[in-house]
Structure 1
């Protein structure tokens, strides 16, 4: 029996180096440890990176190959592509506990000590050297690369206070204060946004990656550090803050390119998994499949939009925030109307505009339009595209010999009728307004006859917005909601801002008061 066959509860009984040797402990590098445990997972047909959706056939196989090859890894991709999540889940491939020399700064292996402290302690106490057990959750270090990171932060420096306290000359190795990297010996060390690290700091990583050496001031140190490095970076053509210096890139064994979800279904899995939904929201707000599709469609439209900077990307965090805002928009309406339950509405999509504005970087043309206008345009395009999945194409419907299914609706607006769908309408008023429009009820019954009451009302409103996006009905955004009217009537409306002269505007102002 060796120590790996012992239960975690029995490990605490091994307290000395002698007991560790008797238990059959054999040293392994962290890369060998990751490799061995990955092999066991693969053979057992276990999911290695749970909750990482859309990478099953692309990124995850590449990561597994890199681990099997015992490589340092660079995850290259735009923001919100689960790079850091993958790195954090690698700790699940580590042994649950490993032995370390008790009190060691560098997590020294009792059989292969590195630090002066551990070497001296083992020389003094031999098999009675105290051993502690380090859990895998403590074997992960993460550092965000920023311009102010120094070599001392990562590698270390001479500590004058320690030298004075111990009455040691600066030439003594014991005066060194080790940085994050040496203190992560036998751990996974992650540097996020590597291009943001100054070039001279990146140079300090050369020897650590290649030889395991560290250089601190004038000390001649050779510490064969045992570290699994994982870097994350945005593509070099995206960031203007810096880049990965070529010699460092050459020393990173595997560079793995990540990507955004390739389908709406994958995007929904990520959003539903990550969104924070309160229990009271779950009981109060009822959603449907279409509205979650629309949220993901907005992200896809943003990634293709001429107004959004494609090099910056559109993070998966946008759909997560948008979904949370969507539920909160419906919840707020229910609270205002003292309703215990409400169905999410298409109008609630316009409540996610703040989530969109905060998550997209606009090009010059987008800045000219303004972030709110761009966000509303993205919502409109999402509705337009999803509309064709549920109703006939309006262009083809006009030529249908069996009759245009939208004629009743357009005729109703053509008779001079208008409809304001306000954001805060009560359930009763909302239903009444939906059923006021001739032909809207019949349209949904024709193509979706088995919907429940709440879903049917949502589909009616969705059809109304879809017709507006396909230019069969006019739509105008208001501060309090959306106003629908005849398309031609809205184009030639004498009350439009472009159809007034100064005197008419003054008369309107007088009428308001």
Structure 2
């Protein structure tokens, strides 16, 4: 039976070079191997990069074209754009197993040995040379470029201990300790953050990419390595920490530019796929599409914010961490109130602030504002944007008031105008939360007018969402408390005396339970 017709179970039973020859096996270069398997997948209409969302019409076709062209690849993009994941998924295009000379450190092909060890072993044993089978998962090597990476790490160097142990002169190539790249022979080698690699180290890659051989000190060796190179790079690094030297960039055949999700729907797919959510959290916390949209909207707002460094980017990890924190904020509330379950609230978004502050790089103006204030502003902008998808535009209604058009928010604003306030503390029980919202006149009627078909839990969420939206459009006031939020009339928040915005007195702004009333 021919090699191509053998099953995996039959292949691994082949143990010697002679048995391998009998199958008709012929070596296949790795880039040809990748190309062959990609062609087979495309013909069978199989998904090549499953779980990668938003790249279906951009990055993935570029990757497929590069693989069909048998190119070395550079993935250029900001952080959190799945560059490394794309590289790692290329192993799925490798053959499941390949034969190697047993004990070889360079993964020598039995019919095309490179290392002195493999050549000598085959010369000594001939067709009885033992072989073993390497799984595709073992053919992937990844190295993060750091300033301390040396040529010896990547290519290799003479090993004095090896020379002394084997009693060999330094002129003997057997004293060489090979680096990561030679050890990746017949595999995929990935260098992450290539611009961080020192220029003199990048030079050592020239020959490997162009001619496929390596040079180690004064040894007269030429190893025609068979490697698929994939590099990742961040445009920010070109100015901050280094750059890709021009001759090296010239030798990388395809440079593919990645990007962030272009729609909220794609962002939600990524977030839900990557977020680590425990089963007990799913049982305790009910979540809706609106709050998932709000989390993605925060990332979109951050990417266009004047306070956030656009060159640095806003990673998809922001929304993933935020989603996890949102569920945990709601879960914590159920534990504190000894409740079996709860429904996610808009105020839970303030629990994701730690997920935002560590994920965005601020420009000078943002640093002046402070990371927490910037995070709060981003949440506010997301609420403002999404509000218009569920309720009438308050700004348009203001203009229409000249024509005495009925304003659906008037009962709510009038209620606050009478001096009423509502405190939505983070840890309110479900019962108290519902009672507080129902206490606002006109709020329930607003939701029934525009979202009558929603269930009770979603209506409560929308009731709170309406308050946040009205605050963002300056129809009521929203103030931060130490343990939650307070809504009140806009004018009274400015002129109501102690504890109000702009207040300079020294009166203790705490309630009877010792909680801070609010802070700005």
The whole-number CA distance in structure 2 between the counterparts of 1:31 and 1:96 is 15
TM-score, normalisation: structure 2:
0.96
- Listed as ranges, the matches of 1:72-91 within 5 Å are 72-91=72-91
Q: Specify the alignment match of 1:455 in structure 2.
A: 458
Q: Specify the alignment match of 2:153 in structure 1.
A: 153
- Listed as ranges, the matches of 1:38-187 within 5 Å are 38-187=38-187
Deviations 1:20-64 (A, max 9, x none): 111110110000000000000000000000000000000000000
Deviations 1:108-167 (A, max 9, x none): 011111111111111111111111000000000000000000000000000001100000
The whole-number CA distance in structure 2 between the counterparts of 1:465 and 1:4 is 64
Q: Specify the alignment match of 1:220 in structure 2.
A: 220
The whole-number CA distance in structure 2 between the counterparts of 1:226 and 1:321 is 40
What SS does the corresponding residue of 1:460 show, helix, strand or coil?
helix
The whole-number CA distance in structure 2 between the counterparts of 1:390 and 1:458 is 12
- Listed as ranges, the matches of 1:107-506 within 5 Å are 107-235=107-235, 239-398=239-398, 399=400, 402-496=405-499, 500=503, 504-505=505-506
Structure 1 gaps, min length 5: none
Moved over 3 A (4+): 236-239, 496-501, 506-513
What SS does the corresponding residue of 2:162 show, helix, strand or coil?
helix
Does the 8 Å contact 1:141/1:184 carry over to 2? yes
TM-score, normalisation: structure 1:
0.97
Displacement of 1:309 in angstroms is 0.4
What SS does the corresponding residue of 2:74 show, helix, strand or coil?
strand
Displacement of 1:505 in angstroms is 2.0
The whole-number CA distance in structure 2 between the counterparts of 1:8 and 1:280 is 41
Does the 8 Å contact 2:308/2:366 carry over to 1? yes
The whole-number CA distance in structure 2 between the counterparts of 1:324 and 1:331 is 11
Name the CA shift for 1:500/1:443 in 2 (closer, same or farther; >3 Å): closer
Displacement of 1:237 in angstroms is 6.5
The whole-number CA distance in structure 2 between the counterparts of 1:238 and 1:391 is 45
What SS does the corresponding residue of 2:120 show, helix, strand or coil?
helix
The whole-number CA distance in structure 1 between the counterparts of 2:332 and 2:384 is 27
Deviations 1:218-266 (A, max 9, x none): 1111000000000000015764111100000000000000000000000
Structure 2 gaps, min length 5: 515-520
Displacement of 1:6 in angstroms is 1.4
Name the CA shift for 1:182/1:432 in 2 (closer, same or farther; >3 Å): same
Deviations 1:64-96 (A, max 9, x none): 000000000000000000000000000000000
The whole-number CA distance in structure 1 between the counterparts of 2:455 and 2:46 is 40
What SS does the corresponding residue of 1:191 show, helix, strand or coil?
strand
Name the CA shift for 1:130/1:402 in 2 (closer, same or farther; >3 Å): same
The whole-number CA distance in structure 1 between the counterparts of 2:123 and 2:508 is 97
Displacement of 1:494 in angstroms is 1.6
Deviations 1:157-179 (A, max 9, x none): 00001100000000100000000
The whole-number CA distance in structure 1 between the counterparts of 2:73 and 2:305 is 32
The whole-number CA distance in structure 2 between the counterparts of 1:425 and 1:109 is 67
Q: How many residues align?
A: 511
Displacement of 1:496 in angstroms is 4.2
Deviations 1:478-500 (A, max 9, x none): 11011100011112222246655
Name the CA shift for 1:498/1:386 in 2 (closer, same or farther; >3 Å): closer
What SS does the corresponding residue of 1:505 show, helix, strand or coil?
coil
The whole-number CA distance in structure 1 between the counterparts of 2:501 and 2:453 is 45
Measured on the aligned residues, the alpha-carbon RMSD in Å equals: 1.6
Displacement of 1:5 in angstroms is 2.0
Does the 8 Å contact 2:494/2:500 carry over to 1? no
The whole-number CA distance in structure 2 between the counterparts of 1:508 and 1:154 is 62
Does the 8 Å contact 2:236/2:312 carry over to 1? no
Displacement of 1:105 in angstroms is 0.6
